[in-house]
Amino acid sequence: MKYLATTFVFLLVHLSYLSAQNLQLDSLEAKIDEMIPPFVNDTTPGLVIRVVHQGELIYGKGFGLANLAYKMPNDTQGLIFLS
């Protein structure tokens, strides 16, 4: 879980850097997929990434599972509670 939190902070910093540049939407997905650890897959706990630029959702994707017991995948429509 600590590694996942570190990955989240890493992504947040990198995505804020991207927003300061001219945003190229076609390369955004490739850059995000490149930053996601390879072990986050359809059998592990995961995360959801949403990128909003100028008030508009330009990217949204779920990685890994939202619920391990029921094997429910993460998606951009689910609610995520942070504690």
For residue 81, is it within any domain? no
Q: Is residue 45 included in any domain, yes or no?
A: yes
Q: What is the domain count for the chain?
A: 1
pLDDT digit string, tens, across residues 21-70: 556 777 888 888 888 878 888 889 888 888 888 888 888 999 999 889 99
Structure tokens at 76: 């951009």
pLDDT for res 80: 74
Q: Is the predicted pLDDT of residue 20 greater than 60, yes or no?
A: no
Domain contains 68: yes
Residue 83 lies in a domain: no
- Burial (CB < 10 A; 0-12, 13-18, 19+), residue 56, is exposed
